[in-house]
């Protein structure tokens, strides 16, 4: 395809086609490889039965068992129906009601997603982080790179609630804290997002390091406000103001793209009154550490008592349950 005369004349169009080609090849090759492995195991099993060879039968059963996680992965990939599911993700975490407990909870969530990303082979970079003087973080923005990063993380959008004995309460009372999570696909120039300069307000400020210390001596942090939508993004982790502006614009494009997708989804949902809406700001999951230990997703009813594993990044069960319910039109 890329060898056709004039294929690269339109760079943007050719890039889109090459990406679509690579995506289709991944899906076809994965299916063919899995099908071939299943057929080989079945043939081995038939040979073992025909020759009454226990060693061959055992080998065939072991081969089939080894295929189970691959089949499971193929079933999950089938649930990725959003056009942007294969893309990298930009994950934003903000502390909510609960004072310093909420800031500490936001920091716990940040670590939870960092560990989830690491255990699933994704690369993470911190685009922006606002520390809280008394502990934890007020907010942070993570860039998570890897196949289907957005597909998985879009299941996490909403408010996450924590119930525990507060380490900041001298009387050791139980407190509730909230933090919000939002995921957007990391888009590139192959997706058209029109932004007029006149619609932007760009502010520069001093970038603060961890603990509120001023590491950079120049006003390198950049905050961009998209006036028509009210979307605000900030980036301060680069020492160069130019680089911070470029990364902030990248996040802004992703946020506007997501905003348009949500508007379209609302129009679709309006045509189906029975479909349950999941809106930003709604509580999606509770993490209870006291008086009992339980993590429960309120959209899918998926739950576990192994809170340490979940806070340690074991989130695939919750994500896959949401994807399955989404495919059924339940959430």
- pLDDT band per the 50, 70, 90 thresholds, residue 20: low
Strand 158-165 with 283-288, pairing = parallel
Lowest mean pLDDT among 26-30, 69-73, 111-115, 172-176: 26-30
In this prediction, residue 95 carries a pLDDT of: 95
List, for residues 47-91, the tens digit of each pLDDT value: 888 888 888 888 988 888 888 888 888 888 889 988 789 999 999
The 8-class DSSP code of residue 301 comes to -
List, for residues 238-293, the tens digit of each pLDDT value: 888 999 999 999 899 889 988 887 877 676 555 443 333 333 446 899 999 999 99
Residue 24 has pLDDT above 80, yes or no: no
Residue pair 142/125 in contact by the 8 Å Cβ criterion: yes
The b-or-e profile of 260-290 (16+ CB within 10 A means b, else e) is ebeeeeeeeeeeeeeeeebeeeeebbbbbbe
Instruction: Write the CA distances from 176 to 92, 130, 158, 290, integer angstroms.
Output: 21, 21, 16, 10
More confident residue, 16 or 69: 69
CB atoms within 10 A of CB 113: 23
In this prediction, residue 110 carries a pLDDT of: 98
In this prediction, residue 174 carries a pLDDT of: 93
Of 255, 253, 92, 258, whose CA–CA distance to 159 is shortest?
Answer: 92
Domain boundaries, the chain: 11-77, 89-190+280-328, 197-267
Mean pLDDT of 24-34: 78
- pLDDT band per the 50, 70, 90 thresholds, residue 121: very high
Topology (CATH level 3) of domain 197-267: Double Stranded RNA Binding Domain (3.30.160)
Distance CA 256, CA 251 (A): 9
In this prediction, residue 212 carries a pLDDT of: 46
- The CATH number, out of the four listed (3.30.70.1660, 3.40.1180.10, 3.50.50.60, 3.30.530.20), of the domain defined by the range 89-190+280-328: 3.30.70.1660
Cα torsion 13, 14, 20, 24 to 10°: value is 150
Total-model pTM: 0.72
Q: φ and ψ at 160, to 5 degrees?
A: -110, 130
Classify 207 as helix, strand or coil. coil
In this prediction, residue 25 carries a pLDDT of: 77
Of 90, 35, 47, whose CA–CA distance to 258 is shortest?
Answer: 90
List, for residues 182-221, the tens digit of each pLDDT value: 999 887 655 667 889 999 999 988 776 544 444 445 678 9
What is the pLDDT of the chain when averaged over all its residues? 85
Instruction: Write the CA distances from 81 to 27, 141, 161, 278, integer angstroms.
Output: 13, 25, 28, 17
In which element (H, E) is residue 140 found? Answer: strand 137-145
Tokens of 198: 């006149």
In this prediction, residue 211 carries a pLDDT of: 44
Of 93, 206, 219, whose CA–CA distance to 156 is shortest?
Answer: 93
Classify 158 as helix, strand or coil. strand
The 8-class DSSP code of residue 98 comes to S
């Amino acid at each position: 395809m890329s060898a056709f005369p004039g294929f690269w004349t339109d760079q943007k169009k050719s890039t889109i086609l090459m990406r679509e080609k690579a995506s289709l090849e991944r899906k076809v090759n994965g299916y063919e490889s899995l099908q071939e492995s299943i057929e080989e195991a079945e043939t081995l099993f038939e040979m073992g039965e025909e020759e009454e060879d226990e060693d061959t039968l055992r080998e065939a059963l072991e081969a089939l068992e080894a295929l189970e996680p691959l089949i499971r992965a193929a079933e999950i990939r089938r649930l990725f129906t959003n056009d942007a599911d294969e893309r990298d993700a930009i994950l934003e975490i903000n502390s909510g009601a609960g004072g310093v407990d909420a800031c500490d909870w936001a920091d716990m969530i940040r670590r939870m997603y960092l560990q989830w990303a690491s255990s699933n082979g994704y690369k993470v970079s911190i685009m922006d982080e606002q520390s809280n003087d008394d502990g934890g973080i007020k907010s942070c923005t993570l860039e998570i790179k890897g196949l289907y990063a957005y597909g998985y993380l879009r299941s996490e959008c909403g408010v996450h609630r924590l119930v525990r004995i507060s380490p900041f309460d001298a009387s050791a009372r139980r407190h509730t804290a909230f933090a919000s999570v939002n995921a957007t696909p990391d888009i590139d120039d192959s997706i058209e997002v029109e932004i007029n300069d006149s619609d932007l307000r760009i502010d520069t400020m001093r970038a603060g390091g961890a603990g509120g210390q001023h590491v950079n001596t120049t006003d390198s942090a950049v905050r961009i406000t998209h006036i028509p939508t009210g979307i605000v993004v900030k980036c301060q982790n680069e020492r160069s103001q130019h680089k911070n502006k470029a990364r902030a614009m990248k996040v802004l494009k992703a946020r506007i793209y997501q905003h348009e997708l949500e508007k379209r989804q609302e129009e679709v949902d309006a045509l189906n009154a029975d479909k349950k809406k999941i809106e930003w700001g709604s509580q999606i999951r509770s993490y209870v550490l006291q008086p009992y230990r339980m993590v429960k997703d309120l959209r899918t009813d998926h739950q576990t008592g192994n809170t340490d594993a979940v806070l340690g990044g074991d989130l695939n069960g919750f994500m896959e349950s949401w994807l399955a319910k989404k495919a059924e039109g339940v959430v």
